[in-house]
Structure 1
Amino acid sequence: MNLTDFRTLGRTGLRVSPLALGTMTFGDPSWGADEATSAEILSRYLDAGGNFVDTANAYMGGRAEEVLGAYLGKRPGLRDRLVIATKFALSMDPTDPNNGGTGRKAIRHHVDESLSRLGTDYIDLYWQHNWDRHTPLEETISTLDDLVREGKVRYVGLSDTPAWAVARMATLAEWRGWTPIAAIQVEYNLLERTSEGELFGAARELGLGVLPWSPLANGVLTGKYTRDNQNPAGAGRGMFVGRHLHEGTFRLLDALGRIAGELGTTVAATALAWVRQQPVVSSTIIGARTVGQLEANLASLDVTLSPEQLAELDGLTTPELNFPAAFLRDFGVPAQQGNTVINGLRASA
């Protein structure tokens, strides 16, 4: 597989690469990548055939969008070949209660600010960065529909949003003739799989694309963390990984290392391949602070895990899903089906 094996996003006609380039690291050399390195990363991704770039208004306080906009401004004609996604909801002014959230006033303000920083007159995919408990869902989705009708936005998506809100917003859009929800964005990797419950169920039923973020669990699944070295040098997001550093994770890393050896690849590429091969996944968001990290992530496109390898990794990190997942599996299916097999599913009892 390569970056030009494009996929359509959900039920839309939008073609996107199987790996999207995330830009959270762009614009801040103290934690991420300076502007020159960011440009190198972008060039390498685009030269490899990628077309899908994901950013957000709040990444590095707006610098990530500015860096991307400056890159595009120096390359006339490139912008229309790309699928550029950005986000709204996070506050850019903590003293203003109407600067953050998903209300009409905030969205209207942030879309114009993002367009200015990006140096473009439209956004291909505009994400709700996360759910806002204070704003009616109708207000958010109707405002996004207005932006599409005005030509400022092409498609809309929902990131970090509860499944019930995803389902309601998608249904409201469908019934009221508003712009449909194209996709959801979720944290998803071998160590965080609870999205497989309600969120993936909503995506399948509603025909939504799924874009995992943090597919390497903030670097834990690169293999740099070991039993003997739980604070490796260069761990840029070390503050987020503590919850994963336990024996279960190290057993998973042992298996990833062995499978990587069998395939002649790396632990990181193997972990990324597992995410990419999940049937519900449309495109996976990768991030990089260096060109070398990007190259390591792109190498995952050359990796295909066998059914046996997928099953082994699945079994090592099977998630505990919320009620009623286990109840329906253990009681509902056998109570409905008896001893019969329906659509390939056999009762477990």
Structure 2
Amino acid sequence: MEYAKLGSSELSVSRICLGCMGFGNAVTGQHSWTVDETATREIVKHALDLGVNFFDTAIAYQNGTSEEYLGRALKDYAQRDEVVVATKFLPRSQQEIEAGVSGQEHIRRQLDLSLQHLGMDYVDLYIYHMWDYQTPLYDILDGMNQLVKAGKVRYIGIANCYAYQFAKANALAEKEGFAKFVSVQNHYNLLFREEEREMAKLCDEDNIAMTPYSALASGRLSRRPGETSKRLAEDSYAKLKYDGTAAADEKIILRVAELADKYGVSMTEIALSWLLTRVTAPVAGATKLHHIDGAVKAVELNLAAEDIAYLEELYVPHNLVGVMAQNTRVGNKKEQVWMKNAPKGMQ
């Protein structure tokens, strides 16, 4: 395993981040394809054995059970100061807004609940999960900064934002003397490269770590056309993100398969090896042990320049989809509907 500094922070993270959205109670959660606590523990232990020290979860993942499963596994298998744990908070709910709960108080409540789930005193990276158009940016930054000063958060990150929003936030943080975002977690992979328009340039110039999610396009980059899986069959959100460009994407997937044969490796290794040339640490989810094996092996694979160009050649511009498509003042109202029905303690 290789390690790198997370942007301008002092955190040393594995080049692969284990994404934990696939962990949690499928009965009470939002997804049917997640794994139970026994499987979670096996995957986390295997990842640790392979040198992975960076773990990403969120209070929204399976109603907080992802945090619970991860926290208990890390407590049993790792020393707290040897792992980097990231979690995320959601926007204020409509109930909170109506009750006059400030952005600062909302963030404090969300973190305290996440720490309770994780069984930890602090998180290494606390991530602003998606832009909240109904809460002043100052309140968000002030709330996160208070948690850094309190020792409950070491560094802060952001996810699902536009480059202009990121730049605006860090400029305000610098002006006010607040903690600045050291990382960004957006949608980025071989099939969706819109981050290269502006965000990648901003991060390169300002030493911001990119830790993209959907690194394998929800499994599409790890399987040949026609092959399927439980997640591919049941993940409606992934279908929303990728079905509209399936024809164009399949041409790239075929090239990933072709290079996998050429190098004698898995498609996962090819797709992640390409992404590792662009970012600090992709977030790679896992619901089986071999998912981790492929992700870790990708760190050791060096693609030839002509093969990188071959993978990139057929890309066509994509419309924004998923969370980013909703990251507008209108779209944010949809998120408020989701939060209105969120479980008690997450509202």
Shared fold, TM over 0.5: yes
Which residue of 1 is the match for residue 10 of structure 2? Answer: 13
Q: Per the alignment, do residues 321 and 65 of structure 1 end up closer, same or farther by CA in structure 2, a change over 3 Å counting? A: closer
Q: 1:139, CA displacement in angstroms? A: 1.0
CA–CA distance in 1 between the matches of 2:229 and 2:290?
A: 17
Q: How does 1:247-262 map to 2 (within 5 A)?
A: 247-262=247-262
Which residue of 1 is the match for residue 288 of structure 2? Answer: 290
Which residue of 1 is the match for residue 340 of structure 2? Answer: none
Which residue of 1 is the match for residue 268 of structure 2? Answer: 268
* Aligned residue type for 1:217: A
Judge conservation of contact 1:265–1:303 (CA < 8 Å) in 2. no
CA–CA distance in 2 between the matches of 1:259 and 1:71?
A: 36
What secondary structure is seen at the aligned counterpart in 2 of 1:184? strand
Which residue of 2 is the match for residue 221 of structure 1? Answer: 221
Q: Per the alignment, do residues 102 and 131 of structure 1 end up closer, same or farther by CA in structure 2, a change over 3 Å counting? A: farther
* Aligned residue type for 2:205: E
Q: 1:95, CA displacement in angstroms? A: 5.6
CA–CA distance in 2 between the matches of 1:223 and 1:201?
A: 30
CA–CA distance in 1 between the matches of 2:97 and 2:233?
A: 31
CA–CA distance in 2 between the matches of 1:155 and 1:138?
A: 17
Which residue of 2 is the match for residue 42 of structure 1? Answer: 44
CA–CA distance in 2 between the matches of 1:290 and 1:94?
A: 37
Which residue of 1 is the match for residue 297 of structure 2? Answer: 299
Which residue of 2 is the match for residue 171 of structure 1? Answer: 171
Which residue of 1 is the match for residue 185 of structure 2? Answer: 185
* Aligned residue type for 1:79: R
Q: 1:234, CA displacement in angstroms? A: 5.5
Query: Highest CA radius of gyration, 1 or 2?
Result: 1
What secondary structure is seen at the aligned counterpart in 2 of 1:247? helix
* Aligned residue type for 1:294: I
* Aligned residue type for 1:289: T
CA–CA distance in 2 between the matches of 1:237 and 1:302?
A: 32
CA–CA distance in 2 between the matches of 1:94 and 1:71?
A: 34
Q: Is 1:27 paired with 2:24?
A: yes
Q: 5+ residue gaps in structure 2?
A: 27-31, 321-347
Moved more, 233-242 or 101-110: 233-242
Q: Per the alignment, do residues 310 and 198 of structure 1 end up closer, same or farther by CA in structure 2, a change over 3 Å counting? A: same
Superposition CA RMSD, Å:
2.4
Judge conservation of contact 1:218–1:237 (CA < 8 Å) in 2. no
What secondary structure is seen at the aligned counterpart in 2 of 1:120? coil
CA–CA distance in 1 between the matches of 2:261 and 2:95?
A: 52
Q: 1:27, CA displacement in angstroms? A: 1.6
Moved more, 244-253 or 80-89: 244-253
Match of 1:74 among 67, 73, 76: 76
**Corresponding residue pairs, total:** 311
Q: CA offsets, 1:185-214, max 9 Å, x none?
A: 111001111111122222123221111111
Q: CA offsets, 1:53-97, max 9 Å, x none?
A: 11101110000111112223335x611111100000157x78655
Q: How does 1:7-156 map to 2 (within 5 A)?
A: 7-28=4-25, 30-75=32-77, 78-89=79-90, 96-97=96-97, 103-156=103-156
What secondary structure is seen at the aligned counterpart in 1 of 2:182? strand
The structure with the largest helix share of the pair is 2
Judge conservation of contact 1:98–1:106 (CA < 8 Å) in 2. no
Moved more, 81-90 or 232-241: 232-241
Which residue of 2 is the match for residue 337 of structure 1? Answer: none
Q: Per the alignment, do residues 7 and 232 of structure 1 end up closer, same or farther by CA in structure 2, a change over 3 Å counting? A: closer
* Aligned residue type for 1:59: Y
Judge conservation of contact 1:89–1:102 (CA < 8 Å) in 2. no
* Aligned residue type for 1:85: A
What secondary structure is seen at the aligned counterpart in 2 of 1:214? coil
CA–CA distance in 1 between the matches of 2:117 and 2:21?
A: 15
Match of 1:235 among 232, 235, 238: 232
Judge conservation of contact 1:220–1:244 (CA < 8 Å) in 2. no
* Aligned residue type for 1:314: E
Judge conservation of contact 2:44–2:74 (CA < 8 Å) in 1. no
CA–CA distance in 1 between the matches of 2:316 and 2:280?
A: 21
